[in-house]
Amino acid sequence: MSDGTVTTVSSNGVYSFTKPNRDSITLLAGLGVEGDVHAGVTVKHRSRVAQDPTQPNLRQVHLIHGELFDEVAGAGFEVAPGDLGENVTTRGVDLLALPTGARLHLGAEAVVEITGLRNPCAQIDGFRHGLLKQVVGRDADGGVVRKAGIMGVVLTGGEVRPGDPIRVELPAGPHRPLERV
C-alpha cells in the first residue's frame, strides 16, 4: 500500500450532513474528533442510536479519498471536501482496498484503525440528486460496492492538518476485506 497525504480536515459540533473545513482537527483516543457530533465511545449516528444506543462507536472518524470527488465530477457532480460529512479527506491511499484493522498514521502522532466501509444513505441524494448512484454501485457479480469512504476508531490521539503525511500499516494476514459498519 502506498502512503498518501491528508488534504482536508473537517468537523461539526452539530448534526448536519456536511462538515466545515478546519485548519486542524484533534483526534482523541477512543472517542474520535474533538468537538465533532459523532465523537464518543458509543454510537452517535442517529440511525444506530435508535437501534441500540449502547453499541460501540466504530464510526469515530470518517475518511474519504479525494479521488472520489474527481470520479463523480466526471459524471457531472461537484463535491468538495467535507460535503459528504467526512472528517479527513486524503489523496494517494486506496482507502477502499484497505483490510479491516489497517492502521493509518496521520501526521506526527494520530493513529486511526479502520473498522469498515461507510454505508451511504439517502441523505446523499438530498445533497445532490443522483449522487447516491455514483457512490454505491454493483460489481460484475452483482455485489454492492460502497465508495463513500471508510470509518475508523482513534487508537492514538493527536492533531491532524492538511498536508500531513499518511502512513499505512497493514495488519498481519490473512486480511479481511472491509464490510459496512
Comparing CA positions, the residue from 89, 85, 141 lying closest to residue 118 is: 85
Considering the chain, what is the average pLDDT of its residues?
94
Q: Is residue 176 part of a domain?
A: no
Domain count, the chain: 1
Q: Is residue 15 part of a domain?
A: yes
Give me the mean pLDDT over the 21-46 stretch.
93
Q: Is residue 103 part of a domain?
A: yes
Q: Is residue 177 part of a domain?
A: no
Phi-psi region of 167 (alpha: psi -120 to 50; beta: other; left: phi over 0): beta
Q: Is residue 178 part of a domain?
A: no
Please, which pLDDT band fits residue 44 given cuts at 50, 70 and 90? confident
Write the DSSP symbol of residue 92: S
Query: Given a cut of 60, is residue 124 above it in pLDDT?
Result: yes
Q: Given this model, what pLDDT does residue 43 score? A: 83
**Pairwise CA distance, residues 126 & 145, whole Å:** 20
Note the pTM of the prediction, 2 decimals.
Answer: 0.95
Query: Given a cut of 90, is residue 113 above it in pLDDT?
Result: yes
Q: Is residue 123 part of a domain?
A: yes
Q: Given this model, what pLDDT does residue 2 score? A: 53
Q: Is residue 82 part of a domain?
A: yes
122-126, 130-134, 163-167, 175-179: least confident range:
122-126
Contact criterion met (CB below 8 Å) for 10 and 89: yes
pLDDT tens digits along 153-169: 999 999 999 999 999 99
Q: Is residue 24 part of a domain?
A: yes
Look up the domain containing 144 and give its range. Answer: 4-169
- Which CATH number characterizes residue 128's domain? 2.40.33.20
pLDDT tens digits along 55-100: 899 999 999 999 999 999 999 999 999 999 999 999 999 999 999 9
The SS3 of residue 116 is strand
